[in-house]
Amino acid sequence: MAAQSPALPAAPWSPPRRQASLRYFLHRYARNRMALFGLWVITLVAFAAVFAPRVAPADPTKPDFGRLLAPASREHLLGTYDLGRDLLSRVIYGARTSLLAGVVSVGIAVAVGLPLGLMSGYYRGRLDDFLMRLTDALLSFPFLVLALAIAAVLGAGLWKAMIAIGIVFTPGFIRLSRAQVLSERERAYVEAARARRARRTGGSSGGTSCPTASRRCWCRRRWPWPQRSPRRPR
């Protein structure tokens, strides 16, 4: 086996105190007004999506050809669409598709991209080289080629589109989480932890992931969501 050359050996890891960190997280979250506002918006959208048939005032697909592009009225709170359909109902039903598409495509990208990026950044060497060249290759495809090919193989439809978008997002997440690890792994606390564990376990390296960085990276995951800082600067 070819030797890699990580700058430092990887260290085993003991789980952090989950409860404490969760409580801390919630405490910080509740104090951030922007975050709470965001939470409300998301909740509202999710609510509309789940209860669309009950919330929507009209059938979103039913056209009214006598009323094209009508202004807001009591009957149509946001007016009508170009085919005379109720705009508010379409927005409410549209939340279903948008939410699903957003969550699934980004979910795919994170689920695949994050662990790969973490491994790449932590182990460096051959693995890093391989993964980075793979992302180079993926990043250079025109989206349309991928989308058309995926549609051709899987067939058309929302789920396929979500998979296609997820695949397109993945290389970006790989590179981003790798960059995070690169800057994080040189921090004092990581080195301290490494030194401590190394002594305790006799310097054996192992594990297939890098959970410390992973946890930090995950908590401060930066893109494309809004984020917040754990500590307030002076």
Our finding on whether 63 is near other proteins (CB under 8 A) is yes
Among the residue ranges 9-17, 46-54, 101-109, 118-126, the one whose residues contact other proteins (CB under 8 A): 118-126
- Give whichever of 7 and 74 is closer to other proteins, judged by the CB atom: 7
- Crossing angle for the helix pair 33-50 and 87-123, nearest 10 degrees? 120
**Does 234 sit near other proteins (CB under 8 A)?**
yes
If binding is defined by CB under 8 A, does position 142 make contact with other proteins? yes
- C-alpha 116/C-alpha 187 separation (Å) is 21
Contact between 17 and other proteins per CB under 8 A = no
Q: Determine, following the binding rule CB under 8 A, whether residue 139 of this chain makes contact with other proteins.
A: yes
Residue 4 lies near other proteins (rule: CB under 8 A): yes
CB of 194 to other proteins, least distance (A): 14
89 forms part of the interface with other proteins (CB under 8 A): no
| CB-neighbour burial class of residue 131 (10 A; exposed 0-12, middle 13-18, buried 19+) | buried
Per-residue contact flags (x/-) with other proteins for residues 205 to 224, judged by CB under 8 A: ---------------x-xxx
Which of 18, 27, 188, 208 is close enough to bind other proteins by CB under 8 A? 188
> Any contact of residue 149 with other proteins (CB under 8 A)?
yes
Residues at the site binding other proteins, with contacts judged by CB under 8 A: 2-7, 34, 61-63, 65, 68, 82-84, 124-126, 128-129, 132-137, 139-142, 144-146, 148-149, 152-153, 156, 172, 175-176, 178-180, 182-183, 186, 188, 220, 222-224, 226-234
